[in-house]
Structure 1
């Protein structure tokens, strides 16, 4: 059997037996236990207590041992009678399991009530305190008894059970406090805790392994329970708990242990729908996951039978992430028809944009543009693409005015630039000049707007204005430096107009810079500075200067295209950088890896989280880069889900993210609010309290709000 966590005790052979099953001891646990002074030569407290109770000479002991060998092991069964007399079935079964583990040849009495009555009233009181989990009081009672009667020795069974109970309490406390290494250590020291009769302890240990990035050990722990525990509710709960910490592939291994009843019903059928939802949701966040068709069909049936918009959205996003727009579109439309939302509208808008239907995308997103940063970026992507259509679209003045208002409010360089070209195409150079000038106020290093400004002034025959643009930008942009140079004849003005017309037509054929769904919350992700450092550090040989000239990456070598990509990232032109990195992917080896990493960063900066996830799969990344990107992508997903009020989905993404990076305070605040909105008020309060102790004002305010709400309900 696999070497898994449940092998928590050191004996001379290096393995332990629990309920008849042997487990190997992980090397790291061996080292930890050795440091704690637990070794093969250490005599157990039970053996010491039994030796003290005997009080006889060596010869008498040998005689008793011989007799015991003939009769079987001497087992203290007083606890059995105590729990049976009080009708405590759970503790009775746990005690039987414990004694069987300690004494494999022992047979439980058919009637525990027939076990001789303990005439020791003080000892009975100690057992009563133990049954109430008042372990400190048991210790105090033992100490008083020994003080009164120095010859009295507490029963070995009581001592052992008391120690195990205290260990269990310590393990639960460590688990509740998030001290996961301590949970694993205590479990290793106390193998008698790790039985199916106390599933909660096994669940806590498995979860602790997951939280210290030991997912294989966590999977083994859950697998042990499915292999050895027979209680149906425990088995179902084990799968449910495992699904919150393990990924799709690991869960398939666990589900392979499913049992089929005599009636042909599979034991996990009752939670199959929830599992399918979770798996498809995980596929939404990771395009590399291919969810089995059976799960997709389950969710499709849920959409048909229950008609929930949330189920339709799961499928819509799953198919959209995989560029299966035709499959995704009906589900987004179904979701909008059932319960219109920003998420449903964003998904449909992206499909409409891919189909070159920006007018419809603008119409879909306008009502939702202010619901989140992602929604606004999706709307602006639609507006920029709409204004860039060729041939020129004839827009309703109402639509044109609302696009202009939003562009000015949001200070969107991309849409503002397209307004400039739109005005030039409508033969309104003065309006175009105003738009390009405004864009340069919003983004002073935005070369396309500077070029447009030069073209507008060329059209207006503003020689001084054009000269000013060329003087400011000529050293950074070759096309601006050459603007108007074709004017060599005497008919200067017509030539300038022709040059400007060609520039307008050429520029309008350039696809608008699309900023689509998943604009990441910059203040949330602690890694925002990391990619900036990576941009500066990653430029290598084949350096290309993108500040003074505009280059087509298709004509460059992969190394030069890679350098161009980093250069464009430095001057904050991520979409152009993404195209350069795409060209660099052909380089192979380290160049391809750097290109995939750079393209992911470029898409993240542009707000294209799904594209960033796809880019990360185009070449093999080292572990640290992969973890960085996954953490950023999952943070975006969590923020998006939270803003869409999908709080359970928010927690799933946050839990997945925590496997790659520690959770920063901002995301912890969001987690606490998700708990609160799901009715998990105690979990929310504990997290807000912990954050409040660090001085976070938002957490302190949240605590005050919760107290006010609690008082109002009284």
Structure 2
């Protein structure tokens, strides 16, 4: 190696001038090669002697600053790079300190130092972004110039940070630096499009459209702006829907573009947006059509609400009630809405009888909301169907929440029909002076003649009172105490399927999967508890990653629609994760597609979808997934996927 190094330098000597060869200007290449060689070999004594010799021969000689750089370049930095790949900055500092203790003149190469500084910045920005520590992102981004930055996802992080802190001027400056570059610094069209899509979150539609007009300089970019234009329309419609004061419709030419896109049915969100838009414009027939189309793609509580309201606004009360009944479980998360939607069957005497499921749902919604008006409606429903115990309890409940003469009257009538004269007398004494006009009516009222086939449930006891010991423990989330009480019942041989079901839930809450599975299995034999036990058993199996067993359970014991959708969504998720771990990427997509037909796909699963496309070689589809994820809020994993899928193939 040394011979080759010296011969290469000697070969260049033929180009030296006669003056240089004569030694008048300075040392020739051979002499300098020796100097570099002694430095490279760390022969300090010979290096010093050679330096002194050259100074004697050439009085103006100065040792070049890079004499030691060959040695620096030859140092093996593989250990540092290994730590770099792990983002082990503490380990890097320790390794650098160790090497400098051996050789104080040594420094890492400029290449390593520069890349290390950059890696630190990236890691700090990504960590702060993941925490939504926007000030931390801004602090870590010091020195980043949006007008020249080549790693655009770092600038996108900064956009999210300024948007999160409301720093409009700084936000505008970053957008300007990214979008309005010139010459070879101009961003690729795809990155311009992604940046414009992000800007729809931060600026009025009019401003974004002006920027689009300035930037649409190429046919490719102009074609790519169509999705951004649709995003702006979505934003305009969403803003209109959310602003109760706005009544002036958006230009139909703009809305028409979204209607055309929605007719293709590619995005569920478009169907819902247009449904709420038309409902606000008092076009219930059109709104109902959009909501029905959305529900045909996926069950969803918000779209069910929209369909109910559209039908009710069109005076199609029976159809609206049928929607509420069909989506009882989905709407239970909004008890106030569900309560009002179901009240049709209870508020008018000429209505058909409600079924047991509806009575239960209506009762539960009343209790959750503590709504006195609806408690009164249910009480009269019970009274008029001659269910006097239930009417007495519900009238008392409504009176507890809000006093009114009609509620006192209903409670008094219920007590009379039950023959509870002592309680009636106490009630009259309490309220005679408050509501004097009702008592004469009560004394001449005739008993109702109606009867309903479905029982009205009594108001349930509070979580801390009433019922057997284990049930009170369960409601209070004292799961170990609950299991202890049930086990005592088992020891005496007095155990019911209901108790075994509760025991299963307690064990599951404590993550005792084997015990939970046994308890649920025992409750499967009773027809009354079978559905709940199958649901609990399926959840237990899924928590234990026994995916196939969980699927077999729900196939053998069919669940209610909402529960079945929940369980199968988890089954498909576990299968997608397992397939990805085994590099079976088409199976990942198959499982995710099956899951997406049941429930909305969250960001983490969309990332899995993007990587599956990437590993299958479908870079265009992968890029589309990651770009969509990165459109509204920065996510480090999605940004990495976008960067990888858009990178040139080498």
TM range (shorter): 0.3 to 0.5
Structure with bigger gyration radius: 2
TM-score normalised by the chain length of structure 1? 0.43
TM-score normalised by the chain length of structure 2? 0.46
